[in-house]
Structure 1
Protein backbone atom coordinates (compact mmCIF):
# COMPACT_ATOMS: atom_id res chain seq x y z
CA UNK A 1 0.00 0.00 0.00
CA UNK A 2 1.48 3.32 -1.08
CA UNK A 3 1.20 6.88 0.09
CA UNK A 4 -2.11 8.56 -0.73
CA UNK A 5 -3.53 12.04 -0.64
CA UNK A 6 -1.61 15.29 -0.95
CA UNK A 7 1.62 13.71 0.31
CA UNK A 8 1.65 11.41 -2.71
CA UNK A 9 1.79 14.49 -4.95
CA UNK A 10 4.55 16.07 -2.90
CA UNK A 11 6.62 12.88 -2.96
CA UNK A 12 6.02 12.49 -6.70
CA UNK A 13 7.17 16.05 -7.39
CA UNK A 14 10.30 15.53 -5.26
CA UNK A 15 11.17 12.27 -7.00
CA UNK A 16 10.69 13.81 -10.46
CA UNK A 17 12.79 16.81 -9.44
CA UNK A 18 15.63 14.58 -8.26
CA UNK A 19 15.43 12.50 -11.43
CA UNK A 20 15.51 15.66 -13.51
CA UNK A 21 18.67 16.82 -11.73
CA UNK A 22 20.26 13.43 -12.35
CA UNK A 23 19.31 13.59 -16.04
CA UNK A 24 20.78 17.10 -16.30
CA UNK A 25 24.05 15.87 -14.76
CA UNK A 26 24.20 13.06 -17.32
CA UNK A 27 23.65 15.53 -20.15
CA UNK A 28 26.26 17.88 -18.67
CA UNK A 29 28.83 15.10 -18.45
CA UNK A 30 28.24 13.82 -21.98
CA UNK A 31 27.07 16.65 -24.22
CA UNK A 32 27.68 20.05 -22.63
CA UNK A 33 30.06 21.15 -25.41
CA UNK A 34 27.64 20.33 -28.21
CA UNK A 35 25.80 23.52 -29.03
CA UNK A 36 23.07 22.36 -31.41
CA UNK A 37 19.38 21.61 -31.27
CA UNK A 38 19.99 18.05 -32.41
CA UNK A 39 21.93 16.98 -29.33
CA UNK A 40 19.01 17.83 -27.06
CA UNK A 41 16.48 16.19 -29.37
CA UNK A 42 18.55 13.00 -29.61
CA UNK A 43 18.95 13.02 -25.84
CA UNK A 44 15.18 13.33 -25.39
CA UNK A 45 14.64 10.48 -27.84
CA UNK A 46 17.18 8.35 -25.97
CA UNK A 47 15.39 9.05 -22.68
CA UNK A 48 12.08 8.01 -24.22
CA UNK A 49 13.58 4.76 -25.54
CA UNK A 50 15.21 3.96 -22.20
CA UNK A 51 12.07 4.63 -20.19
CA UNK A 52 9.57 2.92 -22.49
CA UNK A 53 11.64 -0.06 -23.55
CA UNK A 54 14.44 -0.68 -21.04
CA UNK A 55 12.83 0.45 -17.78
CA UNK A 56 9.24 -0.46 -18.58
CA UNK A 57 9.26 -3.65 -16.45
CA UNK A 58 10.09 -1.49 -13.40
CA UNK A 59 6.96 0.65 -13.90
CA UNK A 60 4.05 -1.79 -14.03
CA UNK A 61 1.35 0.89 -13.72
CA UNK A 62 2.08 2.35 -17.15
CA UNK A 63 1.03 0.53 -20.29
CA UNK A 64 3.69 -0.66 -22.70
CA UNK A 65 4.38 1.01 -26.04
CA UNK A 66 2.16 -1.52 -27.81
CA UNK A 67 -0.70 -1.17 -25.32
CA UNK A 68 -0.91 2.62 -25.65
CA UNK A 69 -2.57 4.17 -28.69
CA UNK A 70 -0.70 6.22 -31.29
CA UNK A 71 -1.92 9.56 -29.98
CA UNK A 72 -0.55 8.79 -26.54
CA UNK A 73 2.77 7.49 -27.83
CA UNK A 74 3.34 10.45 -30.13
CA UNK A 75 2.37 12.93 -27.40
CA UNK A 76 4.73 11.34 -24.88
CA UNK A 77 7.53 11.21 -27.47
CA UNK A 78 7.05 14.91 -28.26
CA UNK A 79 7.14 15.76 -24.55
CA UNK A 80 10.42 13.87 -24.18
CA UNK A 81 11.86 15.63 -27.24
CA UNK A 82 10.90 19.02 -25.80
CA UNK A 83 12.33 18.03 -22.41
CA UNK A 84 15.61 16.96 -24.03
CA UNK A 85 15.70 20.21 -25.99
CA UNK A 86 15.14 22.22 -22.79
CA UNK A 87 17.84 20.38 -20.86
CA UNK A 88 20.23 20.55 -23.80
CA UNK A 89 19.84 24.26 -24.40
CA UNK A 90 20.01 25.10 -20.70
CA UNK A 91 23.24 23.17 -20.15
CA UNK A 92 24.85 24.27 -23.43
CA UNK A 93 23.99 27.91 -22.75
CA UNK A 94 25.47 27.73 -19.26
CA UNK A 95 28.62 26.08 -20.62
CA UNK A 96 28.95 28.76 -23.30
CA UNK A 97 28.54 31.52 -20.70
CA UNK A 98 31.24 29.93 -18.52
CA UNK A 99 33.61 29.74 -21.52
CA UNK A 100 32.98 33.40 -22.38
CA UNK A 101 33.62 34.40 -18.76
CA UNK A 102 36.93 32.49 -18.79
CA UNK A 103 37.95 34.30 -21.97
CA UNK A 104 37.18 37.70 -20.44
CA UNK A 105 39.42 37.04 -17.42
Structure 2
Protein backbone atom coordinates (compact mmCIF):
# COMPACT_ATOMS: atom_id res chain seq x y z
CA UNK A 1 0.00 0.00 0.00
CA UNK A 2 2.70 2.41 1.01
CA UNK A 3 4.73 1.44 -2.05
CA UNK A 4 1.84 2.37 -4.39
CA UNK A 5 1.51 5.75 -2.65
CA UNK A 6 5.18 6.40 -3.22
CA UNK A 7 4.82 5.47 -6.89
CA UNK A 8 1.90 7.87 -7.25
CA UNK A 9 3.93 10.65 -5.65
CA UNK A 10 6.90 9.99 -7.91
CA UNK A 11 4.80 10.25 -11.06
CA UNK A 12 5.17 13.63 -12.64
CA UNK A 13 2.46 15.27 -14.68
CA UNK A 14 3.21 15.56 -18.32
CA UNK A 15 3.90 19.27 -18.85
CA UNK A 16 1.54 21.22 -21.08
CA UNK A 17 2.90 22.24 -24.43
CA UNK A 18 3.81 25.85 -25.07
CA UNK A 19 1.04 25.97 -27.68
CA UNK A 20 -1.66 24.99 -25.20
CA UNK A 21 -0.37 27.35 -22.50
CA UNK A 22 -0.32 30.35 -24.85
CA UNK A 23 -3.78 29.38 -26.14
CA UNK A 24 -5.11 29.35 -22.58
CA UNK A 25 -3.35 32.63 -21.74
CA UNK A 26 -4.85 34.31 -24.78
CA UNK A 27 -8.37 33.01 -24.25
CA UNK A 28 -8.45 33.77 -20.52
CA UNK A 29 -6.92 37.21 -21.06
CA UNK A 30 -9.52 38.04 -23.69
CA UNK A 31 -12.30 36.70 -21.49
CA UNK A 32 -11.25 38.59 -18.35
CA UNK A 33 -10.62 41.95 -20.00
CA UNK A 34 -13.67 41.73 -22.29
CA UNK A 35 -15.87 41.11 -19.26
CA UNK A 36 -14.25 44.06 -17.50
CA UNK A 37 -14.84 46.18 -20.61
CA UNK A 38 -18.49 45.10 -20.60
CA UNK A 39 -18.85 45.99 -16.92
CA UNK A 40 -17.26 49.38 -17.70
CA UNK A 41 -19.78 49.80 -20.52
CA UNK A 42 -22.71 48.88 -18.25
CA UNK A 43 -21.63 51.47 -15.68
CA UNK A 44 -21.08 54.09 -18.41
CA UNK A 45 -17.33 54.44 -17.89
CA UNK A 46 -17.01 53.91 -21.62
CA UNK A 47 -19.25 54.30 -24.67
CA UNK A 48 -17.55 51.38 -26.41
CA UNK A 49 -18.64 47.90 -25.34
CA UNK A 50 -17.20 44.57 -26.42
CA UNK A 51 -19.74 44.49 -29.27
CA UNK A 52 -17.94 47.29 -31.12
CA UNK A 53 -17.03 45.06 -34.05
CA UNK A 54 -20.44 43.35 -34.36
CA UNK A 55 -22.26 46.64 -34.81
CA UNK A 56 -20.14 47.48 -37.84
CA UNK A 57 -21.33 44.33 -39.68
CA UNK A 58 -25.06 45.19 -39.74
CA UNK A 59 -25.99 41.93 -38.02
CA UNK A 60 -29.19 43.30 -36.55
CA UNK A 61 -30.43 44.80 -33.32
CA UNK A 62 -29.38 41.80 -31.25
CA UNK A 63 -25.77 42.99 -31.48
CA UNK A 64 -26.62 45.85 -29.11
CA UNK A 65 -28.41 43.57 -26.64
CA UNK A 66 -26.84 41.40 -23.95
CA UNK A 67 -26.68 38.52 -26.44
CA UNK A 68 -24.51 40.60 -28.76
CA UNK A 69 -22.24 41.58 -25.89
CA UNK A 70 -21.83 37.95 -24.78
CA UNK A 71 -21.14 36.72 -28.32
CA UNK A 72 -18.61 39.53 -28.66
CA UNK A 73 -16.90 38.57 -25.41
CA UNK A 74 -16.51 35.02 -26.71
CA UNK A 75 -15.24 36.18 -30.12
CA UNK A 76 -12.79 38.61 -28.52
CA UNK A 77 -11.53 35.79 -26.29
CA UNK A 78 -10.84 33.67 -29.37
CA UNK A 79 -9.18 36.61 -31.18
CA UNK A 80 -7.09 37.17 -28.07
CA UNK A 81 -5.46 33.79 -28.67
CA UNK A 82 -3.91 35.25 -31.83
CA UNK A 83 -2.80 38.32 -29.85
CA UNK A 84 -1.01 36.04 -27.37
CA UNK A 85 0.68 34.06 -30.16
CA UNK A 86 1.75 37.31 -31.80
CA UNK A 87 3.38 38.38 -28.56
CA UNK A 88 5.03 34.97 -28.19
CA UNK A 89 6.38 35.07 -31.73
CA UNK A 90 7.97 38.50 -31.52
CA UNK A 91 8.34 39.72 -27.93
CA UNK A 92 8.47 36.79 -25.49
CA UNK A 93 12.10 37.54 -24.59
CA UNK A 94 11.14 40.88 -22.99
CA UNK A 95 10.60 40.64 -19.23
CA UNK A 96 8.70 42.89 -16.86
CA UNK A 97 5.66 45.12 -16.96
CA UNK A 98 6.85 47.82 -19.39
CA UNK A 99 6.68 45.63 -22.54
CA UNK A 100 3.08 44.76 -21.63
CA UNK A 101 2.19 48.42 -21.19
CA UNK A 102 3.67 49.21 -24.59
CA UNK A 103 1.91 46.21 -26.16
CA UNK A 104 -1.42 47.27 -24.67
CA UNK A 105 -0.97 50.87 -25.83
CA UNK A 106 -0.07 49.65 -29.31
CA UNK A 107 -3.24 47.55 -29.49
CA UNK A 108 -5.30 50.52 -28.26
CA UNK A 109 -3.71 52.77 -30.88
CA UNK A 110 -4.44 50.29 -33.67
CA UNK A 111 -8.06 49.93 -32.59
CA UNK A 112 -8.88 53.51 -31.64
CA UNK A 113 -6.56 55.56 -33.86
CA UNK A 114 -6.02 53.51 -37.02
CA UNK A 115 -9.22 51.50 -37.44
CA UNK A 116 -11.48 54.61 -37.77
CA UNK A 117 -9.44 55.53 -40.86
CA UNK A 118 -10.42 52.30 -42.64
CA UNK A 119 -13.74 51.19 -41.16
CA UNK A 120 -16.49 52.46 -38.92
CA UNK A 121 -15.83 50.11 -36.02
CA UNK A 122 -15.26 52.93 -33.52
CA UNK A 123 -15.78 56.66 -33.84
CA UNK A 124 -12.62 58.77 -34.15
CA UNK A 125 -10.92 59.51 -30.82
CA UNK A 126 -11.67 63.23 -31.02
CA UNK A 127 -15.40 62.36 -30.94
CA UNK A 128 -15.15 60.09 -27.88
CA UNK A 129 -15.68 61.21 -24.29
CA UNK A 130 -12.59 61.53 -22.12
CA UNK A 131 -13.98 58.82 -19.80
CA UNK A 132 -14.12 56.39 -22.74
CA UNK A 133 -10.56 57.17 -23.76
CA UNK A 134 -9.21 56.87 -20.22
CA UNK A 135 -11.10 53.68 -19.42
CA UNK A 136 -10.23 51.97 -22.69
CA UNK A 137 -6.55 52.92 -22.42
CA UNK A 138 -6.42 51.50 -18.89
CA UNK A 139 -8.16 48.28 -19.91
CA UNK A 140 -5.83 47.80 -22.88
CA UNK A 141 -2.77 48.47 -20.72
CA UNK A 142 -3.89 45.89 -18.17
CA UNK A 143 -4.76 43.43 -20.94
CA UNK A 144 -1.36 43.97 -22.57
CA UNK A 145 0.42 43.44 -19.26
CA UNK A 146 -1.58 40.26 -18.62
CA UNK A 147 -0.69 38.80 -22.03
CA UNK A 148 2.93 39.96 -22.04
CA UNK A 149 3.76 38.96 -18.50
CA UNK A 150 2.04 35.57 -18.79
CA UNK A 151 3.58 34.67 -22.15
CA UNK A 152 7.07 35.86 -21.10
CA UNK A 153 6.82 33.97 -17.81
CA UNK A 154 5.77 30.80 -19.65
CA UNK A 155 8.68 31.17 -22.09
CA UNK A 156 11.15 31.80 -19.25
CA UNK A 157 9.87 28.76 -17.31
CA UNK A 158 10.12 26.55 -20.39
CA UNK A 159 13.67 27.73 -21.05
CA UNK A 160 14.64 27.15 -17.40
CA UNK A 161 13.12 23.64 -17.41
CA UNK A 162 14.89 22.77 -20.67
CA UNK A 163 18.21 23.97 -19.31
CA UNK A 164 17.68 21.96 -16.09
CA UNK A 165 16.84 18.90 -18.15
CA UNK A 166 19.93 19.28 -20.35
CA UNK A 167 22.16 19.74 -17.29
CA UNK A 168 20.95 16.44 -15.81
CA UNK A 169 21.82 14.45 -18.94
CA distance in 1, matches of 2:134, 2:69: 26
Query: Structure with the greater relative contact order (CA < 8 A, sep ≥ 6): 1 or 2?
Result: 1
- Structure 1 residue runs of 5 or longer lacking an equivalent are none
Q: Which residue of the partner structure matches residue 30 of structure 1? A: 90
In the alignment, structure 1 residue 55 sits paired with structure 2 residue 118: no
Unpaired runs of 5+ residues, structure 2, are: 1-57
Count of aligned pairs between the two proteins: 104
Summarize the alignment of residues 1-20 of structure 1 with structure 2, pairs less than 5 Å apart.
1-2=58-59, 4=62, 8-20=68-80
Q: Distance in 2 between matches of 1:102 and 1:63?
A: 48
Following the alignment from structure 1 to structure 2, what is the Cα–Cα distance between the partners of residues 90 and 7?
30
Larger Rg: 2
Per the TM alignment, residue 84 of structure 1 is displaced from its structure 2 partner at its CA by: 0.4
**Structure 1 residue 35, shift from structure 2 partner:** 0.7
TM-score normalised per structure 2: 0.56
Once the two structures are TM-superposed, the CA of residue 6 in structure 1 deviates from its matched residue by: 6.2
- C-alpha RMSD over aligned residues: 1.8
